[in-house]
Amino acid sequence: MTREELYMLRAIELAENARGSVNPNPMVGCVIVHDNKIIGEGWHQEYGKAHAEVNAILSVKDKTLLANSEVFVSLEPCVHHGKTPPCTDLLIKEKVKKVYIANIDPNPKVQGKGIQKLRDHRVEVVTGVLHDEGRQLNRRFFTFWEKQKPYIILKWAETQDGFIARSNYDSKWISSVPSRKLVHKWRAEEDAILVGTNTAQHDDPKLNVRDWQGKDPIRIVIDKSLRLKQSLNLFDQNQKTICYNLLKEEEKNNLVYVKLNEADFLESMIQDLYQRKVMSVIVEGGASLISAFIKLNFWDEARVFISKKTFGEGIAAPVLNGEISGEEKIEDDLLRLYVKTS
Ligand code: AOF
Ligand code: ZN
């Protein structure tokens, strides 16, 4: 690893601190180096608050060192007046010597303009340092802007013999306790969590974060003919909930009903979520909803728990033709991770 990559790795590590706190903004980290020593570090900590570069500059004790320093930032510095003033202006004002960037910001308000402005002001710019790592870190953000849709994660647990539930829809409990805890961590990392009608009816899930510390995601439920009982946990209004259906459009407090057409139901639901700036969705079932996402090629990543239990009969688990990107043992379960290749 080169020295530039090493400093960028630190910037990416700092960015990671913001997981779950800055959506729909990207996670960004920044390291300031003078004479081969790190003199400042920062990251974008909270949506709407100071960007990584601002926090890194604030952390520098001797501000006179900024002129002639090198700045390593995981995303191209912004040029727009958003919730905060442009970071490029700050870097130019502080007369930093060189800026290293992992990725160009795909947000059309920036998209190369930050790099151009720095160069126009004689700040040297190097791009693409740990490019792949930067894209992996902010894969939700890149998908959101480049494909104009939320990043979609499919998640399910299946038995050794390939069932996701028994024929009576009973699916408790296929995966182990540590696996279920991990799912709560995942919930806190995504903007929204989606279930279909059968899962809502049979499991009566709360879809909140209980076994982990973090924010609750937006709950999304599909209930085409509005047959779900209002007494279900999903409708308790404790969390923002969107119910996609074919019949009514309504908004009361935390509960939003959105009416869609049958013909392109899932496509328009995804489009609506994009418009609402939902950057990522974790789909927690059931089998037919997950299979529909697979059929439409609407997924980006899948996380499958394979338990040692067997059911012998039941509802078949979805079948995925993705590339296995990793496997991990979690107590008695095998967690298999898939990424979409095309
Ligand atoms: C940076 N450094 O640390 C981040 C950037 O509404 P605002 O002002 O917070 O702007 C959000 C946009 O700014 C976001 O969509 C992305 O393009 C960029 N994020 N840029 O220079 C940062 N978080
Ligand atoms: Zn900025």
Beta bridge partners of residue 245, listed in sequence order: 259
Ligand 2 centroid–CA 50 distance in Å is: 8
pLDDT of residue 317: 95
Ligand 2 centroid–CA 323 distance in Å is: 35
- CA 307, CA 241: separation in Å to the nearest integer? 30
The arithmetic mean of pLDDT across residues 36-52, rounded, is 97
Question: How many residues in total does the chain contain?
Answer: 342
CATH no. of 3-143: 3.40.140.10
Closest protein CA for atom 14 of ligand 1: 25
Q: Looking at the chain, which residues constitute the CATH 3.40.140.10 domain(s)?
A: 3-143
Task: Give percent of the chain with pLDDT exceeding 90.
Answer: 90
Please indicate whether residue 105 or residue 340 has the higher confidence score (pLDDT). 105
The response to whether residue 40 sits with its C-beta less than 6 Å from ligand 1 reads no
The response to whether residue 75 sits with its C-beta less than 6 Å from ligand 1 reads yes
Residue 10 pLDDT > 70, yes or no?
Answer: yes
CATH no. of 148-339: 3.40.430.10
The response to whether residue 77 sits with its C-beta less than 6 Å from ligand 1 reads yes
Active-site hit among 41, 53, 158, 301 = 53
CA dist 342 to 87, 224, 339, Å?
A: 35, 30, 9
Cβ atoms of 106 and 145 within 8 Å: the answer is yes
Ligand 1 centroid–CA 44 distance in Å is: 8
Q: Looking at the chain, which residues constitute the CATH 3.40.430.10 domain(s)?
A: 148-339
The response to whether residue 138 sits with its C-beta less than 6 Å from ligand 1 reads no
Residue 213 pLDDT > 90, yes or no?
Answer: no
Tell me whether residue 172 is exposed, middle or buried, using C-beta atoms within 10 angstroms of its C-beta: 0 to 12, 13 to 18, 19 or more. exposed
pLDDT band at 65 (very low <50, low <70, confident <90, very high): very high
Residue 172 pLDDT > 80, yes or no?
Answer: no
pLDDT of residue 199: 92
CA dist 112 to 43, 91, 279, Å?
A: 21, 16, 22
Specify the range with the lowest mean pLDDT, choosing from 172-176, 240-244, 258-262. 172-176
pLDDT in tens, 92-126: 999 999 999 999 999 999 999 999 999 999 999 99
- Which phi and psi angles does 225 have, rounded to 5°? -105, 20
| CA dihedral sign of residues 115, 118, 119, 125 | negative
Which helix (H) or strand (E) segment holds residue 158: the answer is strand 151-158
Q: Which residues contact 268 (CB under 8 A, 6 or more apart)?
A: 260, 261
Is residue 190 part of the annotated active site? The answer reads: no
pLDDT of residue 73: 98
pLDDT of residue 342: 67
pLDDT of residue 27: 98
Ligand 1 centroid–CA 88 distance in Å is: 11
The arithmetic mean of pLDDT across residues 147-163, rounded, is 96
Residue 341 pLDDT > 80, yes or no?
Answer: no
DSSP letters along 56-70, please?
A: HHHH-S-GGGSTT-E
